[in-house]
Amino acid sequence: MAGQSNPDLSVFSAPEVEFLAEDEMVEIVPNIRMEALNMICGDFGPFFPQIASKVPLWLAVALKKRGKCTIRTPEWMSVERLTQVLEAERESPREFQPLPFHYVEISRLLFDRAHDDIPDLYMVRSLIEDIRDVRFHKVETGLETISGRTHAVKLKNLSAMEVNIVRPFMVRALQAFYRHDSPQMIQQPRTMGSRQPQVVDRGPRRDLRPR
Amino acid sequence: MASGSGSGSGRWSEDLETEAAMAMGTTDVELLKRAWRNEKAAPEILQFEAALVLRAREQIQLLEETVEEFTENGVDDLVVSLYQMDLDRTLFLLRSYLRIRLQKIEKYMIHISKTNLWNRLSEQEQRFAKRCTDIMEKHLGQSVLSRLPYGYQSILKQSISSEEDDMVPEPQLDTFVFCKTKNAVGAFQLDDTGDEIVDLVADDLYVLRYKSIKGLVESGRIDLV
């Protein structure tokens, strides 16, 4: 979407969002024995072969890369659950279904690094793509309802990556509406301090479009 | 070594903040992540988290020494590389946090020096800001301002007839930010006239003007996303 390459507006780069997602916990089944890890981010292990253990995603991926474990696909990434979510998404045009905040990044990482651990891989992948499409379409439709009166937007259940993609455009759009809908506020160019007393009463508003 | 979530670390800590954090099950990494996210998303510079940064540096240093020991003692490569990853991740967070603050200082150095935002800087940042402003003033003076006609030579004012410092860039506080609140805040007034009231429910995502929720961010009741 527009503004993605502008760091001022996009705030987080996609790799940074993934970095945040990598701290989410997943279950692994190690095939080795390893002592407990006392890390800055937490304590994990000790690890025994065939005994499931919870670790952060980055750790799971590192172990998997070296062939030391398999990763247990999270519950929400099953064909049944995802089909339910997809149907619900299609049936409610204005609500987003609850999904893990980092579902995009988690599924992406697992597809890339642990695809052999995911049952029904192609089905799961296709379901998640469809879910992403439906949700993003809802975001776009929602953007059309922004007007000068929009002083707050509620985006319940939107996920991290979706937030990051839509952020630059939404911020610019809301800013533009906020500024242009206040005829009595004195327009100040960005770099100048606006120390004149702000007129808070924004005056009578006119709807430009009949609703 | 680690301030793990409730799993009794061996370190005796007299820092009340750490104890409170550990009691709540929040690691320093979580707190650092939160500080990093807020700093990235907020248009103005936020309060420097001195205690948190100090603790993070101590833990990083401790882990660096441990990793060195491990390598010397021939500990398993895998274990060493995993600790190294943990170290790299924490270092990234800390560095990025400090860098984003430096960026903001560079951008708004004059504004920060002249308002109470100055108190939000650490000592080192204040020294940095001071040096920056000195260098910038000297540079602008020599290359441009001294060659402008009399009355237009100030770095702060457009001309001597300006009543206020209108040449100083300020952060845009009325920009919109994405935020989430952990605990419900309830009905919250967004502006001065009481026209705009929003019911802030726990865990829901909102897009609001930063200016309206500034206080909530500073008191830690709302997180920027």
Min Cα distance A209 → chain B (Å) is 22
Is A136 in contact with A60 (CB distance < 8 Å)? no
Q: What's the mean per-residue pLDDT of chain B?
A: 85
pLDDT greater at residue B22 or residue B31: B31
> Would you call A157 and B205 a contact, using CB atoms and an 8 Å cutoff?
yes
Any idea which of A59-63, A196-200, B201-205 has the lowest mean pLDDT? A196-200
Q: How far apart are CA A97 and CA B222, in angstroms?
A: 23
Interface size A-B, in CB pairs within 8 Å, comes to 130
Report the DSSP beta bridge partners of residue A37: A44
Q: How far apart are CA B43 and CA B30, in angstroms?
A: 22
Label residue A211 exposed, middle or buried (CB < 10 Å: 0-12, 13-18, 19+).
exposed
Min Cα distance A11 → chain B (Å) is 6
- Distance from CA of residue A166 to its chain's centroid? 10
Which of A41, A63, A160 is closest, CB to CB, to B89? A41
Is a pLDDT exceeding 90 seen at residue A18? Answer: yes
pLDDT greater at residue B87 or residue A197: B87
pLDDT in tens, A109-166: 999 999 999 999 999 999 999 999 999 999 988 888 887 777 788 888 999 999 999 9
Token pair of B92 as six digits = 């990234």
Q: What's the mean per-residue pLDDT of chain A?
A: 85
The whole model's pTM is what? 0.83
> Would you call A154 and B206 a contact, using CB atoms and an 8 Å cutoff?
yes
> Would you call A163 and B205 a contact, using CB atoms and an 8 Å cutoff?
yes
Q: How long, in residues, is chain A?
A: 211
Min Cα distance B98 → chain A (Å) is 15
Helix A57-65 vs helix A103-113: crossing angle, to nearest 10: 10
Q: How long, in residues, is chain B?
A: 225
pLDDT in tens, B140-153: 999 988 888 888 88
Task: List all residues 6 or more positions away from B116 whose beta carbon is below 8 Å from its beta carbon.
Answer: none
